[in-house]
Amino acid sequence: MPDSKSESLATLDQFARLDTQRRERTGIPEAIFAEGKTPEQVSHMLDVLTEKAGFALATRVSEMCAEHINDHLSSKFFVTHNRTGRTVVTMRKNYEPKSTGGKVAVLAAGTSDLSVAEEARVTAEVMGCEVFTFYDVGVAGIHRLVKPVETILQKDISSAVVVAGMEGALPSVVRGLVPIPVIGVPSSVGYGYGGKGEAALMSMLQSCSPGLTVVNIDNGFGAGATAALVANQVAAAKMK
């Protein structure tokens, strides 16, 4: 078995050089999911990542955790806390964020979905996109879609994140009105049978609207990152 062993080790040795440039490899910076971690852990990880990459993002940050981060890192970095979106962004004081030219829309159906929508917005902005937000555009008041659809078409926006709880019909409807990919985010809003986002997730997966893809319940970060990834590709293509 010695041959197999030495080969395995040799091969694995190659992995070591792989993870150093994650952003370049995947197009998305690493983020810290703060839920279930202590403020100390989150703070430490932000510190390390910011030193390395110039900036860092933490999601699902509690009030208490955000305060701890501010207390420990604000003398060293710029610290931006988005209360609604429960995000914290830290940035080296000499870091210059780059604008990619990518354009992303974020739509949400109701006030209860704002937290998820803001998480998506912050994520896309951190990735260099210009983000256009349209909140409170539920299917009940379909006329409220005029403004976002108009903007998406006129501004040449490349992708849209649509957050919806309850029956989760909004992403399908939006997708039917604009010629860009839509990322649906079921939010954990609802009650009784199918509550906690399950009905919304199911509906989006059952939707007959091709061009609509889905991330997990309340995953604003994943949706924002994907939308920005698409938008940044388009922006980069324009510049070529």
135 binds a second copy (CB under 8 A): no
* Cα 103–Cα 127–Cα 111 angle in degrees, nearest 5: 70
Span near a second copy by CB under 8 A; candidates 7-15, 48-56, 74-82, 89-97: 7-15
Q: Tell me which amino acid residue 224 is.
A: G
Instruction: Identify which of residues 70 and 112 has a Cβ nearer to a second copy in the complex.
Output: 112
- The DSSP output letter for 156 is T
CB of residue 75 vs a second copy: minimum separation in angstroms?
25
- Is residue 133 at the binding interface for a second copy, with CB under 8 A as the rule? no
Residue 211, interface with a second copy (CB under 8 A)?
A: yes
H helices within the chain, ranges in order?
2-15, 22-26, 39-53, 63-73, 114-126, 146-154, 170-175, 198-206, 220-239
Smallest gap from Cβ 105 to a second copy, in A, equals 14
List 5, 64, 94, 96, residue binding a second copy (CB under 8 A): 5
Residue 87 DSSP one-character state = E
CB-CB contact of 209 with 109 (8 Å): no
Amino acid present at 21: Q
Footprint (CB under 8 A) of a second copy, residues 34-73? 35-37, 41
Please state the closest distance from residue 56 (CB atom) to a second copy, in A. 14
How many residues interact with a second copy (rule CB under 8 A)?
A: 103
| Shorter beta-carbon distance to a second copy: residue 78 or 144 | 144
Name residue 79's amino acid: V
Q: Within positions 157 to 196, which residues make up the interface with a second copy, using CB under 8 A? A: 158, 166-169, 172-173, 175-181, 183, 186, 188-195
Integer CA distances (angstroms), 135 to 47, 57, 117, 197, in order:
33, 23, 8, 18
Which residues, numbered 62-121, are part of the site for a second copy (CB under 8 A)? 111-112
Bridge partners, residue 213, by sequence: 183
Stretch that binds a second copy, among 46-54, 72-80, 85-93, 213-221 (CB under 8 A): 213-221
Q: Residue with structure tokens 């061009």?
A: 211
222 contacts a second copy (rule: CB under 8 A): yes
The DSSP result for 93-146, as a single string, is TT--PPP---EEEEEESSGGGHHHHHHHHHHHHHTT-EEEEE-S--GGGGGGGH
51/146 with CB nearer a second copy: 146
If the CB atoms of residues 85 and 168 are measured against a second copy, the closer one turns out to be: 168
Stretch of 20-28, 48-56, 65-73, 81-89 lying at the interface with a second copy (CB under 8 A): 20-28
